[in-house]
Amino acid sequence: MTGEQVMRKLLAGTEPVLALAPMQDVTDLAFWRVLSPYGGPHLYFTEYFRVFATSRLDKHILKSITHSPADHPVVAQMIGNDIPSLVRTACELQHHPVAGIDLNLGCPAPVVYRKCAGGGLLRDLKAVDAILGALREVVRVPFSVKTRIGFDTDAPFPELLRIFAKHQLDLLTVHGRTVKEMYRSEVHYDRIAEAVAAVRCPVLANGNVYSAKKGLEVLQVTGARGVMIGRGAIRNPWIFRQFEQVRTGAPAQLPTGFEVLDYVRRLYAALDAPDLREASHVQRIKKHLNYLGVGVEPKGEFLHRMRRISTETDLFSLCEEFLAHDRPLPLEPFPLALKATDVMAGVQC
């Protein structure tokens, strides 16, 4: 089956749908290849294609579509606000083996929302309505939206849901926070439940799904058809397999420290490139280790020391110090005393 056929079958079924969240410069094809052997998701969402008047398809992101295995349905995500450019890009993407087209209405990065894109569009629901109407006319594969519940308040959320229902989306992903809340507040799962009741398409719940048990709790509370996981999957690539284990009544199989260390080694190798200097290579994997680090030990020492390392030798010396053991690791985030602006929160769009 094609990726589109697999996705349509998933959406037409009754089993929970598990999706990997798109995280810019983090959940790329290299990470997908590392994740897959641990038990990957049902759906992969690309990093967003930036869309504007003179934009062209980003070759790096496009490769995650053209070089992904056939049994990995890939949804291409776009971000932008110019209707002709979004329509043009959606048409171009459909010449490639995409399982679906997704519009980003949730990215909370200031550099994005200040340009009235991503989460910034939630300040202009008339624009959202117009964009969805134009895209619905040209998108022949499953058409989806990833959204937050509002910009600085969730008051407009019911109207936003009416717009989504009007344009007959095939899938809706709701991150249960406003743009301004970033990742620092509790997730408003009641708003996700509201979305489930308001639209006819399947809804994926997104936000703070840090374990398989938490994912099942979120499904029970919201009634959503599935969950989208980002930071939790980087910290714990076993999370999708664990979800299926727990859902069927089996205990979640926890990795040992040695297995987590092997994951770091595989990730480091996957992120390498012929022209990449060692310091740049180490810096690149730190984006992933920021998420892993909060689940390694409770005092934040691993995170603190990791962020100051610049060589491969020092990096793996530190990892071996904390991970070279055969004790099982839950890889759930410890309540570390980090600043609200700490990079650990990252930007998950």
Q: Pick the more confident residue, 349 or 94.
A: 94
Can you tell me whether residue 206 is helix, strand or coil?
strand
pLDDT at 347 over 50: no
Q: Whose CA is closest to 23, among 222, 231, 273?
A: 231
Q: d(Cα 79, Cα 224) in Å, to the nearest integer? A: 24
Residue 158: how many other CB atoms lie within 10 Å: 12
Residue 171 is inside which H or E element, if any? strand 171-175
Name the average pLDDT for the chain. 95
Question: Is residue 339's pLDDT more than 60?
Answer: yes
- Average the pLDDT over 34-58 and give the result: 97
| Coil, strand or helix at 13 | coil
CA distance 59 to 61: 6
Per-residue pLDDT of 187-218, as tens digits, reads 999 999 999 999 999 999 999 999 999 999 99
Q: 107, 201, 319, 349: which is the annotated catalytic residue?
A: 107
Alpha-carbon gap, residue 113 to 106, rounded angstroms:
9
Percentage of the chain with pLDDT > 90? 92
Q: Which residue has the higher pLDDT, 129 or 275?
A: 129
Looking at the predicted structure, is the pLDDT value of residue 337 above 90?
no
Residues 317-326 as b or e (16 or more Cβ within 10 Å = b): ebbeebbeee
**Tens-place pLDDT, residues 8-34:** 999 999 999 999 999 999 999 999 999
Tell me the pLDDT tens digit for each residue of 251-266. 999 999 999 999 999 9
107 is catalytic: yes
161-171 average pLDDT score: 98
Assess whether pLDDT exceeds 80 at residue 348. no
Note the pLDDT tens digit of each residue in 271-322.
998 889 999 999 999 999 999 999 999 999 999 999 999 999 999 999 999 9
pLDDT at residue 96 tops 80: yes
